[in-house]
Amino acid sequence: MSDAKRPLRSAQWFGTADKNGFMYRSWMKNQGIPDHEFQGKPIIGICNTWSELTPCNAHFRKIAEHVKKGVLEAGGFPVEFPVFSSGESNLRPTAMLTRNLASMDVEEAIRGNPVDAVVLLTGCDKTTPALLMGAASCDVPAIVVTGGPMLNGKHKGKDIGAGTIVWQMHEAYKAGQIDLNEFLSAEAGMSRSAGTCNTMGTASTMACMAEALGTSLPHNAAIPAVDARRYVLAHLSGMRIVDMVREDLRLSKILTREAFENAIRVNAAIGGSTNAVIHLKAIAGRIGVDLQLEDWTRVGRGTPTLVDLQPSGRFLMEEFYYAGGLPAVIRRLGEHGLLPNPSALTANGNSLWANCQAAPLYDEAVIRPLANPLVADGGICILRGNLAPKGAVLKPSAATPALMQHRGRAVVFENFEDYKARINDPELDVDANSVLVMKYCGPKGYPGMAEVGNMGLPAKLLAQGVTDMVRISDARMSGTAYGTVVLHVAPEAAAGGPLAAVREGDWIELDCKEGRLHLDISAEELAGRLADLQAPPQLITGGYAKLYLDHVMQADEGCDFDFLVGCRGAAVPKHSH
C-alpha cells in the first residue's frame, strides 16, 4: 500500500484486478517490469526534452539516468518519456513559435498517462517555460532539473560568453575591426562542452526563475552541465519527487503569487532576460495567478543588479556557481529585506529563505554587495504611452544610461526583411541620435515573435565608433544581447497597434525614469493614420502556424494561446473511457 496523502493517480491504471488493469499492466510488462513495481509505488514521469537537434539538451539521457536512480532509491518507479524539444539554436523561424506547442504536448502527456508526478528536464530557453506551463495546467507534483550551463567559452586566451560574443564579434566584423577568419575562429571555442548558454541569457535566467519560484532544489540553476554535482542534484531530485507525491506537494502550493514576486525580484538582482516577463506571465496564467506588467515595476524596478554576468556584466555561469550561485544572491537580498516573500514554499518542503539564509558567498566580484551593485537601478523597465498602450519593456542593466531618456527621429523599417535590406545602405538617413523602429515582428507579425529586436547598428555608424542607439520594436531580444532596446511593444503592429503608424522622421521620446514611450504626433493624427492602415497580406493559411496566429495573445499577456490559460487539473476527461 502507498503511504501517500491521497490515492495514487497511477492506481487508476495499474491498481485494478479487472480487464483494464490487465491491459495497462500487461503492455508495460513487455519492458520486463515485475509485478511488485505496480504495487502502490509512486510512478514518476521523467519529462525529457532530450534532442540532438537541441544541442543544449543533448546530454539529457544521462541526466535522466541519474534521476531514475534517485526515484528507485526512494521507492518510486521511473518512466521516461519524450516531449517536443524547442531548441533555440536550430529551430526556425524561432523556437518561441513552438513553446506553446511543447506545453500542450507536456500537459496532454501528463494527463493522459499513469504518472503520479513528473521530473521536468529543462535547459534551452523555451523548454523551461514550456514544461512548467504544461505541468502547471495539470497541477501535479513536479520538480525541475535543469541541464546546466556550458563551461566558459575560450578564445585567444580569454573567456567568451555564448551568444553575447556572437553579437559583439559581428559588430566588430561589420565595423572592420576584425576579419572573417577571426570571426569564424571563435565558433568552436564558444561551445566547448554540453549545456546551455553560459551567459545570463534566457536559459540561465529561466533556470534561475525556476529555482527562485521554488520548483527546483537549491543550486539547480547554476551547476555547470558537466560538473558531477549536476548529476548528484538530478539523483536527489529523483528522490525528492517521490516524497512530494507522498506529501501531495503539487505545483499550485509552490507557484503562488508570493513565489512569482520572489522571482521578479530575483530577476532584477541577476540582470535576467526580458524574456522572463513573457514566460513568467504565461506560467502564472496556467496556475491561476494574475501577474501584470505593473508587478514588474512594483516588485522589481529599482532593485540593484548584483550579479556581474554577461551580457550586462563581465562573468559567466561557471563563476556564478563557484561564487555561491543563486542561493547566495537570495541570501543577500533577504539580509537586506529585499526578498518579498521569504516564507514561500519550495520543492524540498522548506521555505525559500530556509534554503538560502546560510548560503555561502565566495566571490564578491561576481555576486556584488548591495553597496556596490553592477547597476543600482536594475529590474525591467515597463514603458507605456501612445506608442505602447499595453506596454513595452527595456532592460536597464543592458542599456546605455545616457540613452534611457532620449528624443530622436524615427528611422522606420516596415519589417525584418526591410531592416536587413537597408540597414547597411550608405544612403540611409540615420545618425547616432536616430531611433531605429522596426514593425511587424510581434507574436502575430513574425509568428513566434522572433529575437530580432536588438537590431544591429548601421555599419557606417559602427565605423564612426557608435556603440548603441535607441531601438524600438514589437519583437523580443535574445537574453544574451544588449543595448538600449525597447521590446515587446503591445499591441504589436500586426494587431493594429500604434507602432504600425510610425513614419520616417517622426519624433519619438523614450523616458525610462517616467516609464514613457511617446510618439510625438496628435491623437487625431495617430487615429487617422491607424484608420488608413493596410494590413499586410497573410501568407500563413494552415498548419500549426495558423492555430498560433488565431490564438496567440499579445506580449503583455505572455504570448500563451487564449484557450490554454488556466489549470485544467490531472483528471482524465470523462468521455475518454
User: What residues line the site for ligand FES (CB under 6 A)?
Assistant: 56, 88-89, 124-125, 163, 196-197, 201, 203
Are the C-beta atoms of residues 451 and 436 closer than 8 Å to each other?
A: no
Compare residues 88 and 295 and give the one whose CB is closer to ligand FES. Answer: 88
Nearest approach, Cβ of 122 to ligand FES (angstroms)?
Answer: 10
Q: How far is the CB of 225 from ligand FES (least distance, A)?
A: 11
Is 539:258 a contact under the CB 8 Å cutoff?
no
Distance of closest approach, residue 126 Cβ to ligand FES, in angstroms: 9
| Edge-to-edge strands, sheet with 405-413 | 388-394, 381-385, 516-519, 507-511, 405-413, 435-438, 470-473, 485-486
Nearer to ligand FES among residue 195 and residue 443 (C-beta)? 195
Buried-state track 262-293, b at ≥16 Cβ within 10 A, e below 16: bbbbbbbbbbbbbbbbbbbbbbbbbbebebeb
Residue with cell string 504536448 = 105
Cell of residue 199, nine digits: 551567459
The three-class DSSP label of residue 393 is strand
Residue appearing with cell numbers 558567498: 361
Q: Which of 197/493 has CB closer to ligand FES?
A: 197
- In the complex with ligand FES, which residue's Cβ is closer, 199 or 355? 199
Rounded to a whole number of angstroms, the minimum distance from the CB of residue 487 to ligand FES is: 18
DSSP 330: H
Please name the residues in contact with 87: beta carbons below 8 A apart, sequence gap of 6 or more: 51, 53, 54, 55, 56, 57, 95, 124
Residue 88: CB minimum distance to ligand FES, A? 4
Query: Helix axis angle, 180-190 relative to 164-174, nearest 10°?
Result: 180
Q: How far is the CB of 98 from ligand FES (least distance, A)?
A: 14
Decide whether 197 or 521 has the Cβ nearer to ligand FES: 197
**CB of 196 or CB of 267, closer to ligand FES:** 196
User: Which residue type occupies 49?
Assistant: T
Tell whether the torsion through CA atoms of 2, 78, 137 and 145 is positive or negative: positive
Alpha carbon distance 107, 96 (integer Å): 17
Between 48 and 262, CB nearer to ligand FES? 48
Q: What is the rounded radius of gyration, in angstroms, for the C-alpha atoms of the chain?
A: 24
Query: Looking at beta carbons only, is 196 or 434 nearer to ligand FES?
Result: 196
- Minimum distance, C-beta of residue 492 to ligand FES, in the bound complex (Å): 24
Residue 56 beta carbon to ligand FES: minimum distance, rounded to whole angstroms? 3
